[in-house]
Amino acid sequence: MMRFAGFFSLMVWFQVAGLGDLCAQVTDPIHESFTFAFLTDIHLQPERRAPVGFQMAIEKVNELNPDFVISGGDQVYDVMRGNQERADSLFRLYAEMSKGFNMPVYNTVGNHDLFAIYPESPEDELHPDYKYGMYQRYLGDTYYSFDHKGWHFIVLNSLGTTGDGRYTAVVDSVQLAWLKENLERVSRQTPVVVVTHIPLVTARGIVTGNPAGHHVTNSSEVLAALEGHNLKLVLQGHIHWKEYGEVNDRFRYLTGGSIAGNGWKGRRHDTKEGFVLLRVEGEEFTWEYIDHGWEAERLRFNAVE
């Protein structure tokens, strides 16, 4: 009772002093700590010993024991051009293998997960699994949000298709409306993480001299929707590129390398195959790129083959 009376006095003091906002911060801090893993571009396929490499990543994640896993897209390689039998077998393989994680897995849709969108595929838009259909059947919604220990996670679908059978990097208007509505229910103090397969922000085009297709074309609209919110981090995949940046005092972005490297044949962009472990402490986070041992195993196997 005394403690309650003391708290009440403190509240009155803050209000008298005109420090209502400060009071809200004082009474509602986030003290939780947790870890989560971000694995992206797994490109699972039965060939090139990919299941061996993915299993090594699963075992490393289980050893680190984060609260949950986020997969950043391109879970399988690939279903854009394929027939139903092959595409089903790839998603089945991923769905089965990912049960090996000892914690929940949140998936993100990637371009290689879009069924039959290329003209080379024997199927077309009349097929019920076309585009997002097969992904949804195996892995669920292509965009959604969830909360964990005071943080709000938003997983976006950064993919559309063109009339001539190619994918585009865009967050469409229906999803943008959903995003704004979703954020209306989130306090402006709540730390937010956005996950997207195709980067919202990247220097890749500048570094390589090839700006085409490496970022979401309407990134500015997505970031405008998040303005005024406590956006901490944008987690990204697609370009198999390891990159970390800070945009003013506003947010940071992290492109998480890849599990598959260059199609399981070696490094891509001289970045070792791996994943990211994030540690959250209150409102702050740190990250570390984890080598799950696939490069050493790949080189060892190639040497004895």
Task: Give me the least distance between CB of 45 and Fe ion, in Å please.
Answer: 12
Task: Give me the least distance between CB of 113 and Fe ion, in Å please.
Answer: 10
DSSP 98: G
- Residue 123 makes contact with Fe ion by CB under 5 A: no
Strand 68-71 with 33-39, pairing: parallel
Contact 51, 100 (CB under 8 A): no
- Residue 243 makes contact with Fe ion by CB under 5 A: no
Task: Give me the least distance between CB of 272 and Fe ion, in Å please.
Answer: 16
Q: Which CA distances in Å does 197 have to 83, 156, 172, 295, 305? A: 23, 8, 14, 23, 35
Shorter beta-carbon distance to Fe ion: residue 152 or 197: 197
- Residue 273 makes contact with Fe ion by CB under 5 A: no
Span from 5-13, 35-43, 52-60, 115-123 in contact with Fe ion (CB under 5 A)? 35-43
- Residue 74 makes contact with Fe ion by CB under 5 A: yes
> Residues 80-99: x/- map of binding to Fe ion (CB under 5 A)?
--------------------
Binding-residue total with Fe ion (CB under 5 A): 2
Task: Give me the least distance between CB of 183 and Fe ion, in Å please.
Answer: 28
Span from 68-76, 128-136, 211-219, 248-256 in contact with Fe ion (CB under 5 A)? 68-76
Task: Give me the least distance between CB of 81 and Fe ion, in Å please.
Answer: 15
Shorter beta-carbon distance to Fe ion: residue 131 or 268: 268
Task: Give me the least distance between CB of 105 and Fe ion, in Å please.
Answer: 17
Contact 52, 297 (CB under 8 A): yes
Contacts of 292 (CB under 8 A, 6+ apart): 56, 57, 59, 60, 61, 273, 274, 275
Find the helix or strand (DSSP H, E) in which 44 lies.
none
- Residue 41 makes contact with Fe ion by CB under 5 A: yes
Shorter beta-carbon distance to Fe ion: residue 41 or 129: 41
Span from 38-46, 52-60, 88-96, 217-225 in contact with Fe ion (CB under 5 A)? 38-46
* Nearest C-alpha neighbor of 216 from the set 132, 111, 124, 304: 111
Shorter beta-carbon distance to Fe ion: residue 74 or 273: 74
Contacts of 208 (CB under 8 A, 6+ apart): none
With tokens 């994030």, the residue in question is 278
Beta strands (DSSP E) in the chain are: 33-39, 68-71, 105-107, 144-148, 151-155, 159-161, 167-169, 191-196, 230-236, 242-247, 251-256, 275-281, 284-290
Residues lying near Fe ion in the complex (CB under 5 A) are found at 41, 74
